Chains A and B, each alone.
With several copies, the nearest count.
Chain A
Amino acid sequence: MRDFCYSLVIVTGNLWGLKSLQDLEEFRVSTRRWLEENCPQSMRQPITEQDICSGGRRFVFQSDDQKLWLDRMAERGWTAPAWPLEYGGGGLNHDQAKVLREEMASITARLPLQGMGISMIGPAILEFGSDALKKQHLPQIARGEIRWCQGYSEPGSGSDLAGLQTRAEDHGDHFIVNGQKVWTSNADQADWMFCLVRTDFEVSKHAGISLVLFDMESAGVTARPIRLISGASVFCETFLEDVRVEKSQVVGDVNNGWTIAKYLLTHEREMIGGIGTAAGTRTLGELATEAIGLSDGRLSDELLRTEVATWEVDSCCHQLTMERVRDEMTADGVGNTSAMIKYYGTEMNKRRFELLMALGGSDALHWKEGTDTQRWLRSKGNSIEGGTSEIQLNIISKRILGLG
């Protein structure tokens, strides 16, 4: 009984915890009220890929509501709820940000703004950037004025990202960059790129890398879209010929880019890992019921019934794991566990589309734009982009399990 009863005493005494819970409850109530009053009805529909507001110079709003919603949220800093107020963020703590997410979800409010700026380079600048960089870029990102793309992979360096060959030559106050990037998402739509370049060829490959920022309208930048097995894509090849990059646009220190790259890869993994959950859409069980029907209350193909149930069980466990990992999150973020989220989430998504193909039968073999057939083929890339499944397994075995 000893330790056990002792622990009960501690809990009862946790008055501070109760106080903070009350505050949180008040925040929840006021947030709910504000959302109710300010979120346009048309922004409370489940979001599809076409409805995403990615912002940027060239972005064309699909409706007045979409613009209104972005402006209202940006004004409160809730496009980037956890960023400091001074950089255009919402200044919310971890628990408040979770409440905001929950309340938005409860009215299926759409995210007002999505993209590489909010999810990737913004947090990186916040963590590693100079104050000047923060002041220059973060408010623009939070207001949706500048859209970003990521220049990481190169033809010769996919899984071996650190083997990159894009060369930045030191010219005093600026660099001159030459090289080729591939898999640059939306390079043809983006305003700025955050880009890994090699600033030192003499040292070990991880040590000579820097993360630089430049405007895509700079002279010498060319982006060319890539056609995928699933059809048109957001990916581009980007050619960099004598591109001038100011030294003030280096994030963190010169030759310290790999640290930031790893930090960003963690973010990316977590984001891609969430792909397997397909929130807001109908469950696979519902889709299966619609596609092949029930007989005696059971899906009429017993094998598919088993496969669908197995998938749903795994998916439930994966979603709960993302929730648990976030709940356990320390100040350093989720760290290497993002490799697990990424690995499993993308494998789940591939399995999901294989099942949808089986459910659809020959109808699912028709070739049309924007169908599940194309999404099925596209899903094959999930376990390649953002670090292959094999790389994730390497990360787990080496950094978490301490093998090899």
Chain B
Amino acid sequence: MQKLVLTEEEQMVRESAADFLFKKAGPGALREIRDTANPKGFSSEVWLEMVELGWPSILIGEAQGGLGFSHVAMGQIMELCGSTLACSPLFSTAVVGASVLSLGGDRLALLPKVAAGNLTLALAIDEAPRHNPQGIATRAVRRGDGYTLNGEKTFVVDGNVADYLVVSVRADEEPEDVLLFLVPRDAEGVAITKTEMVDSRNSATVQINDVTVESVQRISHSGAGLATLQKVLNIANVHLSAELLGIANECFGRTLRYLNERKQFGVEIGSFQGLQHRAAILWTEIELCKSIVLKALRALDESPEHAGLLASTAKAKTCQVAELASNEGIQMHGGIGMTDEFDIGFFIKRARVVQMLYGDRRYHLNRYAELRAY
């Protein structure tokens, strides 16, 4: 069993990612995207550089033109995307999209394009405001060799910019399973509405009206759609946990610096034990998050049979701590933390979106208990 420390190469990935992201994709970049109402929701320049760094190819096998590197390495990048609030299609394409295609097995041919950064994807699964991957009203009706799809999806991250949508549906002929289809964003009958989000990032609702798909667009083997989706969601949630860790950690770091700078009553506010103890507790909670996130990432690489339980453990814990860290961050910054001019507000906004995506703390605590059979 691997030790719970980064290997040398994982550490190098982390350092080079930090180097790049803090320089090019920090909160200032997000502010610019928001204030210029950039319709793409990310900087093409930043994304191109990520591609050049090989990030979209990390999780893709060498046979499909990828690096076949580890979830642990990708998780370091995701954590730092949390710390910097970097906007890009990386998560939806290189984590979620690449995993769907790899695990689905039937559309491997697209993977080299993903690895090369020439194709972006978005997962369109939820239909209600609260995550429920099995609550699918979208229907597939068999028509000749293909299907006709009808339904509506919400909270589709990057749905407004991705080349392809991965859409979950149910067919009357296989009511127990979930079918996953690859649908071009510009297919006839697909209507996309970008949603203005609190974190100023991309999300969309997708209406699917009589959209015709061929059998070849189906991603999952017959009978394996639900299992594939669950595996993808485990992967997604572990990487979201890494992002939440990054958010919490950066919120805390900024707060700690402020505690050492801001003076009231003639002394640094960090000299007040009331704040010290809260900072110490928060630091401890973040240390716990570091451990579970690393463990869950390793499990994706080495023991996927534990990935479900560890994914829910990690998401439940990081949701709790990111909420605490972002709330404490604002409170300890005082009035200045409430102003839009100051960056700390961007972190609480992003935190809540990541918390909610693919299940919040409550969802994953419940799932944890279910997986533990109680």
Contacts and interface: CB of A to CB of B under 8 A. Distances in A.
A324 B290 CA distance: 9
A227 B339 contact: yes
B338 to A, nearest CB: 5
> For the complex, would chain B's binding face be called helix, strand, loop or mixed by DSSP majority?
helix
A59 to B, nearest CB: 27
Interface in B42-62: 52-54
B265 A292 contact: no
Given A365-B197, A384-B331, A390-B274, A324 B291 contact: yes
A297 B323 contact: no
B130 A292 contact: yes
A60 interface: no
A365 B352 contact: yes
Given A227-B339, A381-B338, A393-B276, A313 B317 contact: yes
B198 A306 contact: no
B36 interface: no
Nearest to B310: A316
B291 A317 contact: yes
- Interface range, B side: 35 or more
Interface string B277-321: 101110110011111101100000000000000000100110000
**Which of B8, B288, B348 has the most CB atoms of chain A within a 10 A radius of its CB?**
B288
A229 B345 contact: yes
A277 to B, nearest CB: 13
A298 B196 contact: no
- Interface range, A side: 35 or more
B233 interface: no
Contacts of A153: 335
A320 B373 CA distance: 22
B292 A320 contact: yes
B284 A343 contact: yes
B4 A323 contact: yes
Contacts of B203: 362, 365
B338 A229 contact: yes
Interface in B1-33: 3-5, 7-9, 12-13, 15-16
Interface of B: 3-5, 7-9, 12-13, 15-16, 52-54, 67, 69, 126, 128-131, 154-155, 195-200, 203, 256, 259-260, 264-266, 268-277, 279-281, 283-284, 287-292, 294-295, 313, 316-317, 323, 327, 330-331, 334-335, 337-341, 345, 348-349, 352-353, 356-357, 360, 362, 365-366, 368-370, 372-374
7 contacts: A1-B53, A157-B264, A231-B340, A298-B374, A317-B317, A343-B284, A404-B271
